[in-house]
Amino acid sequence: MNLLDSILEKIRPSEEDQRKLAEVVRILLERAKQVCGEEGIGKPMLVGSAARGTWLKGEKDIDIFLLFPETLPKEQLEEIGLKICRKIAGGAGKERYAEHPYVSFEFQGFEVDLVPCYEISDPRKIKSAVDRSPHHQAYVSQRLTPTLKDQVLLLKQFTKGLGVYGAELKIHGFSGYLCELLILHGGGFLDLLKQASRWKPGHVIDLERHYSNEDEPRRIFENQPLIVIDPVDPGRNVAASVSLQAFATFVRGCQDFLANPREEFFFPKETKKLKKSELAKILRRRGTEVYCIVFKSPDLVPDVLYPQLRKTERALTTALNEAGHKVIRSDVWGEGTCAILLEVQPCTEKVEIREGPPLGVDAENFIRSYLLSPLRLAGPFINPSGRVVYELESRRPDPEKVIRETLKEKHLLGKHVGETLQKGYKLIKTHKIPELLDNPHLSPFLCDYFTKCLPWYR
């Protein structure tokens, strides 16, 4: 397919790019070896897409792992590991924390991560997720031919275009390693897409046939839409990060691409940049009540921040729905500025139908609880489905009040986000929303929200 060749031209790193990377990697590994030698412990190893030749042009990530003997106690690993990392990184190094601490720094235009881990021969006995990376490195690099590497590049760019590339908790999508395994499984980009276009939630891929059937992994990884057994560790689903939304988006994308292959799937049009007047018009047309909670971003990596933002978002939508307001959509943003956007369908209904339990379940309490209520409009009576029903005057507290009250309940919110919110936030309402476009951090978020569309249909 000509299209795929022309895409490859754009995404495959040039010889110059590769030479540059090789040179930088050489310098880094040398420096790492030297430091490890000085400390008398540690074995540097290049892993990730840079090591396997599956990096997309323009990607600037270099992952160097430092392998330590598994006899080293955890505290010592962290201590000596970080010390070595800091020495390698020099003054530019920043300590970060995922499951383990690690150090990242910029070097000659590249983003370098230095990650201490254990060298464990049997990957089923690893002590931490990072210990698995050297095994992934070995598994993939032994199997990926140059042709397959190109196919990985296509799949990575394709998921990127679809908006589902990255296992981060912001995206809940497909990791680079997952893309590599999918290509090994499918045999090529188009073949994989053909298979994926027929996937249903609960699809199992087990390259090394660790399981004799699909039922067992499906039971172990229950409710995970895509189950890709890690070849080096049958107890792990490489696609655990893939949400149902990302899964369905990918399957939809495969179906649509095969029906009508276009470059836009790989390089979608940008979201339309809305002017204030345009957003105001959209808001009028939607006729909804929009609430945007804006607050200073706590200093957290996205993988920690986003789950907290989502938790806070869930607490708010639950509270609004329970108060009788219909939240039709909501979203969060955590880059530069934090924002939680809630869109409520306005409701003027004054009668609330309150149904009791079905026949056979005790309804006494239900009947008693509204018999003398000042809100009772009619009932108790039996509806055609045989249930006891009251019609009550509905009393909906103001959404703004519900939001403000919920944001006081720290235990319902994410830890750091909750703490930050206690210090203050702005609650922006419908007609003031367009003014948020002045905030360069929030502008893309709002434009995306109000023109929400699969990228290839933009």
Do 357 and 363 contact (CB within 8 A), yes or no? yes
Determine the interface stretch with its own copies among 66-74, 126-134, 352-360, 396-404 (rule: CB under 8 A). 352-360
Task: Tell me which amino acid residue 31 is.
Answer: R
Element containing residue 135 per DSSP (H, E): helix 133-143
What's the CA gap between 84 and 36, in Å, rounded? 7
What's the CA gap between 394 and 352, in Å, rounded? 5
Give the single-character DSSP code of 197.
Answer: T
Task: Indicate whether 374 belongs to the interface with its own copies (CB under 8 A).
Answer: no
- Alpha-carbon torsion angle 177, 183, 189, 195, nearest 10: -110
Do 99 and 127 contact (CB within 8 A), yes or no? no
Task: Indicate whether 173 belongs to the interface with its own copies (CB under 8 A).
Answer: no
In angstroms, give the least distance from the CB of 198 to its own copies.
8
Interface residues for its own copies in 26-85 (CB under 8 A)? Answer: none
Nearer CB in complex with its own copies: 54/249: 249
Task: Indicate whether 364 belongs to the interface with its own copies (CB under 8 A).
Answer: yes
Task: Indicate whether 365 belongs to the interface with its own copies (CB under 8 A).
Answer: no
Task: Indicate whether 259 belongs to the interface with its own copies (CB under 8 A).
Answer: yes
In angstroms, give the least distance from the CB of 381 to its own copies.
5
Single out the residue of 225, 234, 268, 434 in contact with its own copies (rule: CB under 8 A). 225
Q: In the chain, what is the straight-line distance between the N-terminal and C-terminal CA atoms, in Å?
A: 24
Determine the interface stretch with its own copies among 93-101, 120-128, 234-242, 359-367 (rule: CB under 8 A). 359-367
Residue given tokens 């607490």 in the structure block: 315
Single out the residue of 38, 381, 397, 398 in contact with its own copies (rule: CB under 8 A). 381
In angstroms, give the least distance from the CB of 321 to its own copies.
14
Single out the residue of 10, 31, 170, 286 in contact with its own copies (rule: CB under 8 A). 286
Nearer CB in complex with its own copies: 25/377: 377
Single out the residue of 288, 337, 439, 443 in contact with its own copies (rule: CB under 8 A). 288
Do 320 and 412 contact (CB within 8 A), yes or no? no
* Residues contacting residue 274 through CB under 8 Å, at least 6 positions apart: 282, 437, 446, 447, 450, 451
304-343 mask for its own copies (x: CB under 8 A)?
------------------------xx--------------
Determine the interface stretch with its own copies among 52-60, 127-135, 243-251, 270-278 (rule: CB under 8 A). 243-251
Determine the interface stretch with its own copies among 59-67, 96-104, 210-218, 247-255 (rule: CB under 8 A). 247-255
Do 341 and 290 contact (CB within 8 A), yes or no? yes
Q: Is 454 helix (H, G, I), strand (E, B) or coil?
A: coil
Q: Which of 224, 221, 47, 76 is nearest to 141 (CA)?
A: 47
Do 371 and 356 contact (CB within 8 A), yes or no? no
Single out the residue of 377, 427, 443, 444 in contact with its own copies (rule: CB under 8 A). 377
Single out the residue of 273, 275, 281, 452 in contact with its own copies (rule: CB under 8 A). 452
CB atoms within 10 A of CB 294: 18
In angstroms, give the least distance from the CB of 232 to its own copies.
29
Task: Indicate whether 391 belongs to the interface with its own copies (CB under 8 A).
Answer: yes
Which neighbouring-strand residues pair with 45?
A: 65
Single out the residue of 118, 165, 221, 450 in contact with its own copies (rule: CB under 8 A). 450
What's the CA gap between 48 and 54, in Å, rounded? 8
Residue given tokens 């003398």 in the structure block: 372
Q: Which of 235, 187, 202, 264 is nearest to 7 (CA)?
A: 264
Task: Indicate whether 280 belongs to the interface with its own copies (CB under 8 A).
Answer: no
Q: Which positions touch its own copies (CB under 8 A)?
A: 200-201, 225, 243-245, 247-249, 251-252, 255, 259, 282, 285-288, 328-329, 345-351, 353, 359-360, 363-364, 367, 371, 377-388, 391, 393, 450-454, 457
